[in-house]
Amino acid sequence: MKRGEWFMRIITAVACVGVIVFIVGSAIRAADNPLRTTLAFRFTVEDPRPAEGYIVRAESIIYDEGQLVVPAVPDGTRVANGQTVAKVYSGAEELARVTEVRQLEARIALLESEVELDDAELDKLRRESVMALSRTVQGRDFASLPVAGDTIKSLILDGKSGETARDEIKSELSDLRERVKRLGSVGGTSVPSPKSGLFTTAIDGYESVTLGDITNATPDSLPDIFAEVGGAKSGLGKLVTGTEWYLAAVLSADDAAVLRSGSTVTVRLTQPYRTEFEMKVKSIGQQSSGRQLVILSCKRDMAQSLVLRRVTAELVISSYSGILVPKEALRLDDDGVTTYVYIYSGGRVERVKVAISGEYGEGYVVYPTRRNTDTGEIEEDHASLLREGAEVIVKANDLYDGKVIES
């Protein structure tokens, strides 16, 4: 065998021995200090109870004999007594002319804002227009969607910058103003609001059902109340008055038993779309067929509820949040009362006192605590190392506060 080959074999053997020694040494160190950690994360535990029911408000339909009626305000607008809520037109030709004038005026207003802006301000307006479109969609303001869409098209899809673009805009503005002038003034007969309230075009025929109708209802009779008033009726829109709206919710008698009049619960809708409201338990009705009718009320978010009638929901009776840690990580002090966990941070062990909010599976939901030096009360420690992403020690030998551990 050549001398070079012997040399390479010796080098390889030495390298293998080094790797083996390293592995064995690591295993011995791990056996001496079996450090096992897990990442903490924020966790919320809820107690949802299924329910279904109907939304009830103080509503009145606005009727008009005209055939060609166009709303003058977007859905969800709060209008004053006597304010114009719609326009009635004499024929299709007049309506088409009015529609064209409105589109031209909207385009003129948009271009006038563009021509006065520099490129940086124009970029900002483009970003704001995207956010405005997002809010329109999320708020289900379908009446405003065409305007928001046209704004996006003008600012982004057709967007230009520089002096040449401004000259083009000025030229287009001149043409648009001339077209509006040729079309003449917008006519039509105004339809005033009979009272103040929230205006919407969403009519379903159940506007006559009131709080009084459902107060003494049962889970079995509630659907009949709505069936008796019929389906959708004609009208140019409706007004929602008052400051409060209601949900007549049917849930099991066992679930209703944990509710208390005057308490606040989170109502999370699952149908017809997902959203949630904070509502107060107004009254708890009688049982029927193992179910119970609960009436909840809300003095907020009236505009967001306008398109809702029959809903499926979850009533979140209670909830609590905190940091979820494995049960193995929780430790009890010698006093038999204080609970704590160890955090591994920067190579050191940190002891953190915690309080238990609840139990979930194989873990506890906890929050860090400290004693208030002024009152002596135990309170949540918002400056604690125990937060989402912290490394919680599940297992290790001979732990104590301040110990240095090489990972």
Domain ranges of the chain: 1-32, 36-43+322-395, 49-59+195-319, 91-187
Res. 116: pLDDT tops 90: no
Tell me if 46 sits within 8 A of 406, measured CB to CB. Answer: no
* Distances in whole angstroms, Cα of residue 68 to Cα of each of 94, 104, 122: 10, 21, 38
Peptide bond into 272 cis (omega under 30): yes
Regarding pTM above 0.75, the answer is no
Cα–Cα distance measured from residue 19 to residue 14, given in angstroms and rounded to the nearest whole number: 9
The CATH T-level fold of domain 36-43+322-395 is: 2.40.420
> Sign of the CA dihedral 325, 382, 358, 341?
positive
Closest by CA to 238, choosing from 37, 76, 18, is: 76
Q: Is 244 helix (H, G, I), strand (E, B) or coil?
A: strand
Task: Please state the rounded mean pLDDT for residues 242-246.
Answer: 94
Res. 164: pLDDT tops 80: no
Tokens 């009360």 belong to 377
Closest by CA to 156, choosing from 138, 137, 130, 176, is: 130
Res. 110: pLDDT tops 90: no
CA 317 to chain centre: 19
Cα–Cα distance measured from residue 405 to residue 407, given in angstroms and rounded to the nearest whole number: 6
257 pLDDT band, cuts 50/70/90, is: very high
For residue 323, what pLDDT is reported?
92
50 pLDDT band, cuts 50/70/90, is: very high
For residue 115, what pLDDT is reported?
65
Q: Is 202 helix (H, G, I), strand (E, B) or coil?
A: coil
240 pLDDT band, cuts 50/70/90, is: very high
Q: Are strands 84-89 and 189-192 parallel, antiparallel or unpaired?
A: antiparallel
pLDDT by residue (tens digit) across 222-237? 999 998 887 667 788 8
For residue 83, what pLDDT is reported?
93
Task: Please state the rounded mean pLDDT for residues 42-57.
Answer: 92
Percent of the chain with pLDDT over 70: 75
Q: Residue 374: is it exposed, middle or buried by C-beta count within 10 angstroms (0-12/13-18/19+)?
A: exposed
H/E element holding 364?
strand 363-371
Q: Which long-range contacts (CB under 8 A, 24 or more apart) does 119-127 make?
A: 119/161, 119/162, 122/155, 122/159, 122/161, 125/155, 126/155, 126/156, 126/159
What the block records as the tokens of 314 is 């979850």
Tell me if 198 sits within 8 A of 75, measured CB to CB. Answer: no
Task: Please state the rounded mean pLDDT for residues 243-255.
Answer: 95
pLDDT by residue (tens digit) across 21-38? 434 444 444 445 578 899
For residue 19, what pLDDT is reported?
41
For residue 361, what pLDDT is reported?
87
Three-class secondary structure assignment of 73-120: CCCCEEECCCCEEEEEECCHHHHHHHHHHHHHHHHHHHHHHHHCCCHH
pLDDT by residue (tens digit) across 331-356? 999 888 899 999 999 889 999 999 99
What the block records as the tokens of 50 is 């299924």
Percent of the chain with pLDDT over 90: 40
Running DSSP on this structure, what letter comes out for residue 333?
A: -
What the block records as the tokens of 241 is 């008055």
Cα–Cα distance measured from residue 253 to residue 259, given in angstroms and rounded to the nearest whole number: 10
